[in-house]
Amino acid sequence: MPVSNNVMSRSYLVFLVTLLLLPAPGLAQEARLIVTVFSYNHEDFFPEQTRVPDAQIRVWDARTRTVVATGSTDNDGMVVLEVKPFEHYEIQATREGFISLEANTGSGGQGDCLAHRPDRCHLLRRSLWPVAGDVSVQFRLMLRDIVLPPSSSDNGTTVPVPPKGILTGRVTSTNGLPLRDVSIDPVGVEGIHGNTRTNKDGWYRVSLFPGTYRVMAGSQLSAPLSMLSIPVFTGHEGNEGVMTTVTSRRETRVDIVLVPVSLFNVTVTVIDEIGDVVSGANVRFIGQRNNHFFDGQLPTEADGSVRLGPQVPGDVQLFVRAIKDGRYLSGSMPIRVQDAPVDVTVQLMVSAAISGWVQFIGRLSPLHSDGGLRVFDVAPGSSPAGLSNLDRSGVVSAGGEFVLPASTGERCLGLSGIPSGWRLLDITYNGEDYTSRPFSLATGDHLAGVTIRVEAGAPDSRPRHCWDRGRP
């Protein structure tokens, strides 16, 4: 049914973004981003009743900051865009006459955007890291009846948008050399935000509304892809922020000096239980520095070794999984990166394994969330919290298959990454229900044919999972 501009201008706007990632033969794959735009008003909280046509959708490559796909929604409020999977993107949806609030529905961001920077609300982007398979990403962009300028306050009065000021400066290292391509993030005390990057001479320039800002420079330490094989790399750690005040029609200069930090490469060699090297083993590493987590995963080469790239000093946990000669192998090791490259050997031991598939009732293939679906195992009475941030074995493929090298003993199965609107139905094996009871695994066991079913509905608050056994 057609939607008038007047109705939409008094409505709230909901964006339901579903990323359908369909693997093609071989390594060449494409991701189909199916974007659906819904509208609803104060009296009607069911967004599927009204769809919004003519919404403009743009997708950026977050690394190169270039537009990779564009389109507009049809009469059904839908548009399909194709991009490469497994990349970092930013997506934006706009429509003439609409002012959408912040795409990332976090704490306080929506109201701050409308109250302090209404002329920028419709330009905000949402970050996406699509994985293989059908991926559901739901977020709400709300709509207000505002004509710019001026902006509208909550009591119906108009508030003129103040002229902007300029924040500029130069970012250098402690040796005085300019630093290029450094992220500059002015964060206002009233919720106003900005972002830019330094040029090749270390200079940056960004226009901002008047106010007090904490200017953040730099981000998580990491080496560029071209430097992943070198033993030592010098990076620069982000600052804690410089407070400054931006005034209308004036230029404020804030220079920033960043401290260099040496990053050291980590080489991991993987061997099996009898000491033979293991090629193709999946080595995952997770570390933490100054409340920032970093992680990655790489396969071992033919000689059983892999360089993880320069890492920041600190503690790193290694998780290794492999399949060799039909055996499921696993191992882990904590290491510490200090002031020199690290070379370690991880020995894997034979473990048990569970394989099968995940089924979504009413769908031909699984529906993934942003982070994808993953099958995990825990001991009865243990909490599964945080497991998705650690070992990524058990990842569910686009077709729903999974293989999980599991620990021996009593192990409970679970499924993480279930998208909103769905819930776990049951876990079965050989006709028996293991949703509320553990599997008993011995070394070398391989339970093939485990079925995990997911149904539409709100999450079940009852303690049905077997890891709840024995917990208060």
Measure CA 194 to chain center: 21
- The answer on 298 and 372 residing in a single domain is no
- pTM of structure: 0.56
User: In the predicted model, what is the mean pLDDT of residues 38-53?
Assistant: 53
Domain-terminating residue out of 349, 380, 402: 349
- The answer on 219 and 140 residing in a single domain is no
- The answer on 327 and 295 residing in a single domain is yes
Gyration radius of the chain over CA positions: 25
- Of 210, 214, 179, 213, which is closest to residue 197 (Cα–Cα)? 179
Cβ neighbours of residue 18 closer than 8 Å, sequence gap 6 or more? 33, 34, 35, 36, 134, 135, 136, 137
How far apart are the C-alpha atoms of 375 and 373, rounded to whole Å? 7
Residue 324 · residue 346 · CB < 8 Å: no
pLDDT at 171 over 80: yes
Strands, E, within 365-421: which ranges?
Answer: 367-368, 374-378, 401-406, 409-416
- The answer on 125 and 20 residing in a single domain is yes
User: In the predicted model, what is the mean pLDDT of residues 334-358?
Assistant: 93
* Domain carrying residue 286: 263-349
User: Which of these ranges, 10-14, 133-137, 286-290, 374-378, has the smallest mean pLDDT?
Assistant: 10-14
Question: C-alpha angle with apex 361: 360 to 363, nearest 5 degrees?
Answer: 70
Domain-terminating residue out of 100, 127, 159: 159
- The answer on 292 and 233 residing in a single domain is no
SS3 121: helix
Residue 93 · residue 55 · CB < 8 Å: yes
- The answer on 336 and 271 residing in a single domain is yes
What's the CATH code of the domain at 295?
2.60.40.1120
Cβ neighbours of residue 337 closer than 8 Å, sequence gap 6 or more? 264, 266, 287, 311, 312, 313, 314, 315, 316
How far apart are the C-alpha atoms of 470 and 472, rounded to whole Å? 7
- The answer on 270 and 131 residing in a single domain is no
| DSSP element (H, E) containing 428 | strand 422-429
How far apart are the C-alpha atoms of 229 and 305, rounded to whole Å? 13
How far apart are the C-alpha atoms of 21 and 33, rounded to whole Å? 8
420 exposure class (CB count in 10 Å sphere: 0-12, 13-18, 19+): exposed
Residue 191 DSSP label: S
Residue 438 · residue 412 · CB < 8 Å: yes
- The answer on 451 and 306 residing in a single domain is no
Highest mean pLDDT among 70-74, 94-98, 186-190, 359-363: 359-363
For residue range 255-279, what is the model confidence (pLDDT) as tens digits? 999 999 899 999 999 999 999 999 9
Q: Residue 106: which pLDDT band, with cuts at 50, 70 and 90? A: very low
Domain-terminating residue out of 301, 324, 349: 349
Q: What is the pLDDT of residue 5?
A: 43
What's the CATH code of the domain at 21?
2.60.40
For residue range 62-83, what is the model confidence (pLDDT) as tens digits? 777 789 888 888 887 777 888 7
Q: Per residue in 256-294, is it b (16+ CB within 10 Å) or e — as a string? A: bebeeeebbbbebbbbbeeeebbbebbbbbbbebeeeeb
- The answer on 396 and 447 residing in a single domain is yes
- The answer on 146 and 37 residing in a single domain is yes
- The answer on 324 and 343 residing in a single domain is yes
Cβ neighbours of residue 261 closer than 8 Å, sequence gap 6 or more? 221, 234, 235, 236, 237, 312, 313
pLDDT at 383 over 90: no
Could you give the number of structural domains in the chain?
A: 4
- The answer on 196 and 233 residing in a single domain is yes
